[in-house]
Structure 1
Amino acid sequence: MSERYSTCRETNALVRRLVRQAWTYRRGSKHGKLSPPGCGLFVTIPGTPGDFRSVRNLERDIRRLAAQTGAALAW
């Protein structure tokens, strides 16, 4: 069984795909941190989704971080 990153099924799938693409996941006390390869910047991964927009907001933040750092994304 693979690691569980969030209670949200869509968030889990998204983070799992990025971890397979060499992104780094670090667990925090309340939130996880997802970093692109070779970079110290990160996106906060919520343990529980706050609302129906949480997955879309997370995707937006990941796209922005990837563009800022030049990391490749293969959705």
Structure 2
Amino acid sequence: MAQNVVLFLLWLSGRSLAGFPNQINIGGLFMRSTVQEHSAFRFAVQLYNTNQNTTEKPFHLNYNVDNLESSNSFS
């Protein structure tokens, strides 16, 4: 009985991991004058993507950055 429960839990955990994509797209919106925030965002994504521990990094992050004009409220 205990072996069946363990096998079921292993099967269930495998199914939950199989539903995640290998790559996730994220985005950042920054004002043109905020160079430090933009650099910190890129650094954090790069730090995550270069992590060698696969248990902590089940997917790869792709990032897109867009700069906003403070004078244009519709940008």
TM-score normalised according to structure 1 size = 0.28
Greater relative contact order structure (CA < 8 Å, 6+ sep): 2
Which is greater in Rg?
2
Larger relative strand fraction: 2
Please give the TM-score of this superposition, normalised by the length of structure 2: 0.28
Larger helix share, 1 or 2 = 2
